[in-house]
Amino acid sequence: MSATPNPAAATEFAKGLAGVVAGTTAIASLEGTLRYRGYDIEPLARAGDFEEVAYLLLHGQLPTQREHAAFGDRVAAAARSLPAAALDALARLAAARPDAAPMDALRTGVSMLGLVERDDTPGDRTALLVQAERLLGQVPALLAAWLDLAAGRPVAPWPSGSLATALLERLTGRAPAAPHAAIFGTTLVLYAEHEFNASTFAARTVASTGSDMHSCITAAIGALKGPLHGGANEKVLEVLGAIGTADRAEAWVHEQFAAKRVVMGFGHRVYKDGDVRAKLLGTMCREMVRGTAGDALEDLADRVERIMLAAKALKPNLDWPAARVYHALGLPVNVFTPIFVVARMSGWTAHVIEQVGDNRIIRPLSIYTGAAPRDYLPLAARG
Ligand code: ACO
């Protein structure tokens, strides 16, 4: 039996699929600037709210006021109705491993929801949309529930208000000031979607096999967790903490280069002249903390940016300002990447629906670099 030969009989390939077009999408484009379904990211980030953007990504157009309100109600209702079986299981895990990373709790939690809700097929478009909206509410509620359970508290109810306001209230334990809820919402809008990034591609790959929504999202969360992707926003604060003061920045950055370590929060596979989202949020972050103790961290961040630009022509990505915003809002570092999950749920689920709607299994080829053909020797003959 012979396999179809590798068409290129290839000796060349794009490591990390850099520059490879792996499919089509109508959800987001990065040409010139980032656009969600044709809308420039800047007005969406300045004036849109997360529900509006999530609706746009999932349904293809901006909602009317009525559609917006109804969508928000459906998402909030889902946040208030986590299945008891999933919560019970989470409570046991929290009692056994209270120090587990919230990212692991989310990945496990979504997988448990799939089991509890008996999700085993992709369903039709309508069913997938219902599921996507439900998960949009359940995932932030899972995160908040985990934090309560891991701290040994009873699970608090999901507050009223927009998803951004409610989640920020759940994460800090107090109703947020309006400007804080607004910038937090902006981070969710900016994190919502980004075309064929690693986690979205993971979700689409799982969807392409005919698997179910919860399996796609579980895979996506696992991919997002890595420090080269979503995990970078947690590492950014470690970087700033490790440098300490602006006068140490130059030496610290060059130590990283000498050790061939990447500086978290800088560089991007697609944006080579800077990440539009980082520019937008960086400015907002500086404005938010101006005149407070947060100024010192902004000065340090500024210094690192200038050093990275001069030394390597590298500019910040979204994780660089997002970590500083979350820190300024008083959030613990271990929820930074889970917040990214909450936001990216909108993009992931939209991509799963798009993949299911026009599917062919994702199955690329590889170039074999292993041992030459050799004969099998039975175990007994190998001594
Ligand atoms: N610090 C130091 N050097 C870097 C950095 C960095 N942050 N980013 C890239 N480089 C270097 C690479 O090592 C490479 O050097 P080389 O030519 O000597 O090998 C060169 O710059 C070019 O790298 P790219 O091809 O542009 O990097 P790639 O596309 O493979 O990786 C990535 C992109 C993973 C984002 C990388 O820039 C990185 O590791 N950054 C730090 C982690 C991070 O911030 N991730 C968040 C991504 S954005 C997001 O998830 C919202």
In whole angstroms, give the CA distance from residue 84 to residue 65: 33
Determine contact, residues 42/190, Cβ cutoff 8 Å. Answer: no
If you search the block for the tokens 């991509």, which residue do you land on? 351
Q: Please tell me if the CB atom of residue 229 comes closer than 6 angstroms to any atom of ligand 1.
A: yes
Q: Tell me the catalytic residues.
A: 229, 268, 319
CATH of residue 244:
1.10.230.10
Do 237 and 166 sit in the same domain of this protein?
no
Q: Is position 51 within any domain?
A: yes
Q: Which structure tokens are listed for 341?
A: 């999950």
Q: Is position 324 within any domain?
A: yes
Q: Which structure tokens are listed for 205?
A: 């790959």
Quickly list DSSP for 241-257: HHH-SGGGHHHHHHHHH
Query: Ligand 1: distance of its center to the CA of 9 in Å?
Result: 30
Determine contact, residues 110/214, Cβ cutoff 8 Å. Answer: yes
Query: Ligand 1: distance of its center to the CA of 37 in Å?
Result: 27
Do 101 and 210 sit in the same domain of this protein?
yes
- Averaged pLDDT, 11-33: 94
Q: How many secondary structure helices (H) and strands (E) does the chain include?
A: 16, 3
Q: Please tell me if the CB atom of residue 48 comes closer than 6 angstroms to any atom of ligand 1.
A: no
CATH of residue 34:
1.10.580.10
Do 217 and 270 sit in the same domain of this protein?
no
User: Residue 162's domain spans which residues?
Assistant: 28-227+333-357
Structure confidence at residue 119 (pLDDT) = 85
| Res. 1: pLDDT tops 60 | no
Structure confidence at residue 9 (pLDDT) = 62
Percent of the chain with pLDDT over 90: 93
Task: Kindly report the protein residue whose alpha carbon is nearest to atom 47 of ligand 1.
Answer: 229
Do 204 and 338 sit in the same domain of this protein?
yes
Query: Ligand 1: distance of its center to the CA of 366 in Å?
Result: 23
Do 201 and 85 sit in the same domain of this protein?
yes
In whole angstroms, give the CA distance from residue 51 to residue 136: 10
Q: pLDDT, tens digit, for every residue of 212-222?
A: 999 999 999 99
- Which of the residue ranges 5-14, 193-202, 303-312 would you say has the lowest mean pLDDT? 5-14
If you average pLDDT over every residue of the chain, what do you get?
Answer: 95
Structure confidence at residue 306 (pLDDT) = 97
Task: Kindly report the protein residue whose alpha carbon is nearest to atom 17 of ligand 1.
Answer: 312
Do 179 and 267 sit in the same domain of this protein?
no
Based on the structure, what is the number of domains in the chain?
Answer: 2
Do 157 and 86 sit in the same domain of this protein?
yes
Quickly list DSSP for 27-68: SEE-SSS-EETTEEHHHHHHH--HHHHHHHHHHSSPPPHHHH
Q: pLDDT, tens digit, for every residue of 166-177?
A: 999 999 999 999
